[in-house]
Structure 1
C-alpha cells in the first residue's frame, strides 16, 4: 500500500502539470509560428536505504513538436513564412541571438526591421535598417529590397538579407519568451537552403482535436489516481482494524 501511495500521488501531480502544458498549447492555437510542447511520463526509483521498492512518476518534458503549421496568405509585404525547415534569426535587447518562425514583421520608430514582440531581425551584418518612404519586398532567400514610393520609383535597392538558419532540432531549447536558442549557447550559421514565402504567415502546429482529446484523457487519469489513493486509505483503515483485533 505504501508503494501505491508514491505512484498514485506523484502520478496525479504530474498529470496536472501535463494538463497545464496541454492548456498552454490550446491557448496558442492561433499564435503565428507556435510550436506545441510535448511531455512524457517515466518512473524513477526513490533513493534511500529503507525505500528500495518505492518509485515516483516524473513528467519528463520531451521538447517541442517541430512539424510545420499551415501557411496562410496575407498579402502584407512585411509578412513572411519559413518554407519547410528553418528559422528566422533575431537579436534581443541583451545582444543575444534567438530563433523564431513568426514572420509577422514591422518597422520600429528608428526604421529597424523587427518582429511584433520588438526583437530585431538579423541580417548579414546585424539588424536591417529600412529608409523612410519606400516600398519593401522580401525575396525567397531573405533578401530585403526597397523601391521609392514616390511618383518616380527608381531601381530596387538591396538593404540586406534576413539571416535564415536551420540548426539540428535536438540542439534547440525553448525560452520563457517563446523563442528558441541553442542549448550550448552561441549562434547558428546561416543556411542558404532555407527559403521564405512572402506575403504569408505560418500558423500554429497545435492540433485542436488531438489536444482536446488529451485534456479529457488526462482528466480521467487524474480521477483514477485519486480513486487509487482513496482505496489505499480504505485498505489501511481495514488493516488497522484487523491489527487491533489480533493485538
Structure 2
C-alpha cells in the first residue's frame, strides 16, 4: 500500500483535532472571561528507507496553549460583578484544588459564600472562602478589598470582609483544565497573591474569541480536510490502476 495513505490520514487526524478546538472556541464566544484555546500542528519529514527519496511529510500536534489577550470589558453595574483590569486571575476553590478564572460574575450561595457562576467558592487573599453577611450588600474596591453592609445597618457601619486573592503567575506555568479553569502545571504550589493585579468593579470581561476569525478558521479547516481525503482517494485510485496493469501483463 502506498505510504501516502498513512501521511494523508495522519494530516486529516490533526485537522480534526484542530477543528474540535476551533468549535469549542466558537461555542464559548459568549462565555465570560473565556480564553481562546490555540491549536497548532507542524510538519515532520518522514525518514525514507534506503533507495527512497524524501517525498513524504507527516504532521504532529504542537504544544497547545491559550490566547491570553484581554477580552472586551462590559459595564454591567451589578454589585457582584468584577473584571480583572489587565493581567491577572481570581482564585477559586474546586475539588481538584485551587484554580484560576477571569470570570467575575459572582453570586452568593445558600451557605452565604461568594461563588462563581459555576458554584466554586471565591478565595480570599488568605486562601479561604469569602463569607458574606446574611442579606448583606457588597462593595468591591479596585485593589480587591470587599466591604459589606448588613441589612438594616447604618451606612457608617461598613465592615471590611476580605480581599480577593488576585494572582498573576506566568502563562507558561498554567494549564487549562477540562472545566475551563486554569491551574498551576506539573503539580506546582498555588500562586501567591499579586498586589499589582487590579479589578474593575461593576464590569465583566467577555470572551476574547474573535467570531469572524474563528468562523474563517473553521471553514479553512474543513477545506483542508477535504483535500486530505482527496489525496487518500487518489492514492487508492492509483493503486487500483496499477494493480489492473499488472494483472493484464501477467
CA distance 1:6–1:75, change in 2 (3 Å):
same
Counterpart-to-counterpart distance in 1, 2:139 and 2:150 = 12
Match of 1:91 among 90, 93, 102: 93
Deviation of 1:245 after TM superposition, in Å, equals: 3.1
Deviation of 1:149 after TM superposition, in Å, equals: 3.6
Counterpart-to-counterpart distance in 1, 2:77 and 2:99 = 26
Counterpart-to-counterpart distance in 2, 1:208 and 1:4 = 35
After TM superposition, the score normalised by the length of structure 2 is: 0.91
In the TM superposition, 1:172-191 aligns within 5 A as 172-185=174-187, 186-191=189-194
In the TM superposition, 1:197-216 aligns within 5 A as 197-216=200-219
CA distance 1:190–1:39, change in 2 (3 Å):
same
Aligned length: 245
Query: Retained in 2: the 8 A contact 1:138–1:145?
Result: yes
Give the corresponding residue for 1:224: 227
Give the corresponding residue for 2:102: 101
Give the corresponding residue for 1:122: 123
After TM superposition, the score normalised by the length of structure 1 is: 0.92
Query: Retained in 2: the 8 A contact 1:35–1:66?
Result: yes
The range that moved more, 151-160 or 225-234, is 151-160
Task: Kindly indicate whether residue 195 of structure 2 is the aligned counterpart of residue 169 of structure 1.
Answer: no
Query: Retained in 1: the 8 A contact 2:125–2:166?
Result: no
RMSD: 2.1
Deviation of 1:135 after TM superposition, in Å, equals: 1.6
Deviation of 1:155 after TM superposition, in Å, equals: 2.8
